[in-house]
Amino acid sequence: MKAIQIEGFGNPADVVKVVDLPDVDAPGIGEVVIALEASPINPSDLLMISGRYGYLPKLPSVVGQEGVGRITAVGNGVTHLKIGDRTIVPYPAPVWAERIKADARWLRRLPDGDVDQLAMLGINPPTAYLLLTDFVKLPMGSWVIQNAANSGVGRSVIPIAKSLGLNTVSVVRRDDVVDEIKALGGDVVLVDGPDLAKRVASATGDALISLALDGVGDMSTMNLLGCLADKARLVAYSAMSGKPFVGDARLLIYREMTLHGFWLGHWFKRTTPQDYVQMYERLAPLVVSGAIRTPVAQTFTFDQASEAVKAAARYQGKILFKTA
C-alpha cells in the first residue's frame, strides 16, 4: 500500500517520501481496518515533520494526524461497526497511508456528509470544544473572546459556542475576512489592534468576559488580556505569529488572571473511550450540517506529497490528501 513517510526531520517538502509499505495485517480482536478517503495537512503536521512539534515519532515513520475513511475489515468482538461504515481515524494513528488498523473502542459510524469536511473533524473541532468547556464553566449568555478566528479552530469555536448558548467576540488580523467570519455566525468580529479592549467593551455593552482563546501569541495576547474581567482565564493553544506572547504581569497579579496552555495530545492521553466517543458524537452533526466548515483550497494525491506540503506551508487555505 502507498503511504507518506519521513526518515528524518527537516523541510517538509524535502523529507516527505511516498513509499510502498506492506499492507496492514488482518484486524485482531476489537480492531478494524480503515481505508483512508481524505486527510488534511495541518500546521501541526508541518511542525512535526520539521522536528519542531511537542511529539516527534520514532523514525522512519508514516505521518499525518487526522482523516476519515471506510471500514474494510472487522475483527472478532466488534459489533457496533461493520464493513462500509465511515469513521474518523483515531489519534494518534499515523494517517497518511492507504489503510490503517485501529482500536474499535474509540470509533463510531459517522453520519453521511461531505467527506472533505468530515476529514477535518478529528483535531480542530474537539480543540475548540474543549477550550470552551474544560477551563471555565460559563453560564448561557456569557461572552468568549478569541483571536485567530479565521483558523480551523477559530471557525469551529463560533458554532460550538452558539450550541452552548455562548456569545463570541472573534478577532482577526485582516479586514477582508471580517464579513466571512460574521457569516459564520460570529456575534462581534473585530480587527486586532492596541485599542481592542475599548472596541470590545463598546460592541458588547461592557460585558464581563471570563475566557479568552489565544492562537496567535505576540502582542495579540496582550490585547486579549486587556479585554478580560477579573479572575478571567486565557488559554493558549497555538502561536501562529511564530513569536512569544507578550503580557502584562500586573494583570495576573492584581486582577488574578491566569494563563493556561492546551494541547489536544495531552487530552487524548488521559481521556476514556466513552468520553472520546461522546464528544465526537456531539461534534459530527455540526460538521454534517455545515455549521462547522473549513474552506478547502486544493486536494492532492499521495504521489503529489511534496507539492501538497508546499501548498499547505503557504497557509492560503486547507490542503487535503484524497485517495480516490
Instruction: Give the CATH number of the domain where residue 253 resides.
Output: 3.40.50.720
d(C-alpha 144, C-alpha 162), whole Å: 11
Residue 247 identity (one-letter amino acid): G
Same domain, yes or no, for 188 and 245? yes
Ramachandran bin of 231, using left for φ above 0, alpha for ψ from -120 to 50, beta for the remaining angles: left
Instruction: Cell 517538502: give the residue.
Output: 13
φ and ψ of 276, to 5 deg? -60, -50
Greatest Cα-to-Cα distance within the chain, rounded to the nearest angstrom: 61
Assessment of whether the complete model's pTM goes beyond 0.85: yes
The alpha carbon torsion through 119, 125, 127, 129 (nearest 10 deg) reads -150
| Structural domain contains residue 180 | yes
Quote the Cα angle for 114-117-123, to 5°: 150
Of 321, 292, 324, 313, which is closest to residue 63 (Cα–Cα)? Answer: 321
Residue 5 identity (one-letter amino acid): Q
Cis peptide leading into 92, omega within 30 of 0? yes
Same domain, yes or no, for 244 and 301? no
| Structural domain contains residue 130 | yes
| Structural domain contains residue 303 | yes
Segment holding 19, helix H or strand E = strand 17-20
Instruction: Give the CATH number of the domain where residue 27 resides.
Output: 3.90.180.10
Angle in degrees, 0-180, between the axes of helices 273-288 and 152-163, rounded to the nearest 10: 90
Q: Considering the candidates 53, 91, 276, 280, report the single residue annotated as catalytic.
A: 53
Residue 103, beta-bridge partner list: 31
Burial (CB count within 10 angstroms: exposed 0-12, middle 13-18, buried 19+), residue 219? middle
From first CA to last CA, the distance across the chain in angstroms is 14
Residue 204 identity (one-letter amino acid): T
d(C-alpha 256, C-alpha 259), whole Å: 10
d(C-alpha 290, C-alpha 288), whole Å: 5
Say whether 129 is catalytic. Answer: no
| Structural domain contains residue 83 | yes
pLDDT in the model for residue 279: 96
Total structural domains within the chain = 2
Sign of torsion, CA 253 134 187 220? Answer: positive
Residue 155 identity (one-letter amino acid): R
Sign of torsion, CA 125 127 131 133? Answer: positive
pLDDT in the model for residue 317: 81
Quote the Cα angle for 112-116-121, to 5°: 75
Same domain, yes or no, for 151 and 254? yes
Same domain, yes or no, for 114 and 238? no
DSSP of 113-148, one letter per residue?
Answer: --HHHHTTSSSHHHHHHHHHHSS--PPTT-EEEES-
Burial (CB count within 10 angstroms: exposed 0-12, middle 13-18, buried 19+), residue 302? buried
Q: What is the pLDDT along the chain (324 residues), one digit of tens a residue?
A: 999 999 999 999 999 999 999 999 999 999 999 999 999 999 999 999 999 998 899 999 999 999 999 999 999 999 999 999 999 999 878 999 999 999 999 999 999 999 999 999 999 999 999 999 999 999 999 999 999 999 999 999 999 999 999 999 999 999 999 999 999 999 999 999 999 999 999 999 999 999 999 999 999 999 999 999 999 999 999 999 989 999 999 999 999 999 999 999 999 999 999 999 999 999 999 999 999 999 999 999 999 999 999 999 987 789 999 997
pLDDT in the model for residue 93: 85
| Structural domain contains residue 233 | yes
Same domain, yes or no, for 107 and 130? no
C-alpha cell at 88: 474518523
Of the residues 243, 264, 285, the one at which a domain ends: 264
Residue 57 identity (one-letter amino acid): P
78: containing domain: 2-120+294-322
Same domain, yes or no, for 129 and 259? yes
pLDDT in the model for residue 195: 97
d(C-alpha 243, C-alpha 219), whole Å: 9
